[in-house]
Structure 1
Amino acid sequence: MPVVKLVLEYDGTRYVGWQVQPNGPSIQAEVERALATLHKEPRRVTAAGRTDAGVHARGQVVSFPEARPLPLSAYVKGMNALLPDDVAVRTASVEPDGFDARRSARGKRYRYVVENLETRAPLSRLQAWQLFGALDVGAMRAAARHLLGRQDFAAFQASDCACEHAVREVHRLDVLGEAGGRVELVVEATAFVKHMVRNFVGTLVEVGKGRRSPDSIPALVESRDRTRAGRTAPPQGLFLDEVFY
């Protein structure tokens, strides 16, 4: 059966996350509601990743099997007319039988935005972590190099993560920008454990503040001890940029 693939962009500020939950609005519910209106019957979608409350996406991917796909314009223009202003379909395509947004993915890229400011900036507070006092971005870059490659990242795994293990392969971890401005951390990996990127960021920010040395990172990874890593960075700075297939 053909599979419809949608690439979504959304502002996650007012949502409890991607997944349908009883305690508030979810992006999944909005997408499935729009699809049900288009098809005049319910549709369930699979997402490449379940973003948390407050997390945004530029390239979230969802898929669902469809015996008779609608014209692609219906999935873009039609759904965008039905979706709220903070959720949009960027592109739509029909993929071969067996395509699955989650299981077919070969990797993802996340971007985390830090604004290194002298004082708070109200207009960007929901799409960046605002930090005051100059960060040592060079030290953050040096520390980030120790997080590349295939390693056990249990030290950066949320305590309630359901994954069987935390071995992941990080292909890219760039720290872009300079102190006193916008600093972006770009992470690409085959897969991620829960809160892995946000825990990377929280730890690298501690390096940037001089609270830990870049050379301490290998021992931290080796410890597999979450309590030794930095705080979990707040959700509003995180964006799911792209899913690779």
Structure 2
Amino acid sequence: MRNLLFEIAYQGTRYHGYQVQENALSVAQVLQDAIEAVTGSRDDITGCSRTDTGVHANSFYFNMKTESRIPEDRFPIALNHALPPDIAVKRCQEVPMEFHARYHCLRKEYLYRIWNSEIRSPFLDGLVSEYKYPLDLPCLQKATQDFVGTYDFRAFCAAGGKEMETVRTIYETSICREEGDMVCFRVSGDGFLYHMVRIMVGTLLEINEGKIPPDSIREIIEQRDRTLAGRTAKPQGLYLNRVEYGDEWFGKTV
């Protein structure tokens, strides 16, 4: 028996999130179908996170305990032959048996991509959130810094979230125009609540629209009232961008 860690990337447009659903197609289901086709066994897989319907991942990890003897360097090639074009296995490595892709994650970074133009891009359909109004990026960048720290982010958690503990630590945030009409919001933390990043983005957009004062984020956090924060931004622009684990599992950070 081996415990294997896989890094994957996927376009979430046609999936109802990562987690297996009873009556909807998920990333995990498609992965398990491919694993069964390659190994002959439908092994359980453990993902590093639960992404929502339509959300994407540039870097996502899952681990799997398996009897398969396929070499680590050959496993990605074999699985990619069995997977659809919108999911790709980037690499595979053996990890200690006690390793858990979700519980041993130290830090995650999310990226939210906004196509800031009155003209939509036909090449980015489903891959960005469209916003046609001018963005006051210096103002928004200043506002994002009020998310940094350890707080109870209950006001930034959507109804339906199952988390009992709503305290999270945000390490870094930024929003900037990266190229042409593409604006990106980045946020890293030790974990995120249900729809938390999308509510952060929706709050920033309402600050931009003058609906929420730019210096009110800390007050919203302190009030712990979801109705004070902004709307939930669309899922299409959201990407799980980076996942970090400790040196003790690998000899280096993944």
User: How far does residue 156 in structure 1 lie from its aligned partner after superposition?
Assistant: 0.4
Residue correspondence of structure 1 range 25-174 to structure 2 within 5 A = 25-174=25-174
Q: Which runs of 5+ in 1 are unaligned?
A: none
TM-score (norm 2): 0.92
Aligned twin of 1:235:
235
Count of matched residue positions in the alignment of Structure 1 and Structure 2:
245
User: How far does residue 221 in structure 1 lie from its aligned partner after superposition?
Assistant: 0.8
Aligned twin of 1:7:
7
Percent identical residues: 35
Aligned twin of 1:198:
198
Query: Residue type matched to 1:79 in 2?
Result: L
- Residue 199 of structure 2 aligns to a residue whose secondary structure is helix
User: What is the rounded CA distance, in whole Å, between the counterparts of 2:75 and 2:202 in structure 1?
Assistant: 38
Aligned twin of 2:251:
none
Query: Residue type matched to 2:231 in 1?
Result: R
User: What is the rounded CA distance, in whole Å, between the counterparts of 1:11 and 1:152 in structure 2?
Assistant: 31
User: What is the rounded CA distance, in whole Å, between the counterparts of 1:129 and 1:23 in structure 2?
Assistant: 27
Deviations 1:86-112 (A, max 9, x none): 011011111112111101111111100
User: How far does residue 70 in structure 1 lie from its aligned partner after superposition?
Assistant: 1.6
Q: Which runs of 5+ in 2 are unaligned?
A: 246-254
User: How far does residue 114 in structure 1 lie from its aligned partner after superposition?
Assistant: 0.6
Query: Residue type matched to 2:9 in 1?
Result: E
User: How far does residue 72 in structure 1 lie from its aligned partner after superposition?
Assistant: 1.6
User: What is the rounded CA distance, in whole Å, between the counterparts of 1:39 and 1:93 in structure 2?
Assistant: 16
User: What is the rounded CA distance, in whole Å, between the counterparts of 1:158 and 1:202 in structure 2?
Assistant: 12
Q: Is the 2:150–2:167 Cα contact (8 Å) retained in structure 1?
A: yes
Query: Residue type matched to 2:149 in 1?
Result: G
User: What is the rounded CA distance, in whole Å, between the counterparts of 1:107 and 1:16 in structure 2?
Assistant: 24
User: What is the rounded CA distance, in whole Å, between the counterparts of 2:185 and 2:39 in structure 1?
Assistant: 40
User: What is the rounded CA distance, in whole Å, between the counterparts of 2:68 and 2:14 in structure 1?
Assistant: 33
- Residue 80 of structure 1 aligns to a residue whose secondary structure is helix
Deviations 1:30-61 (A, max 9, x none): 10111112211211100000111100001110
TM-score (norm 1): 0.96
Query: Residue type matched to 1:78 in 2?
Result: A
- Residue 188 of structure 2 aligns to a residue whose secondary structure is strand
User: What is the rounded CA distance, in whole Å, between the counterparts of 1:242 and 1:31 in structure 2?
Assistant: 20
User: What is the rounded CA distance, in whole Å, between the counterparts of 1:108 and 1:178 in structure 2?
Assistant: 21
Deviations 1:100-128 (A, max 9, x none): 11011111111000111022223213111
User: What is the rounded CA distance, in whole Å, between the counterparts of 1:115 and 1:56 in structure 2?
Assistant: 16
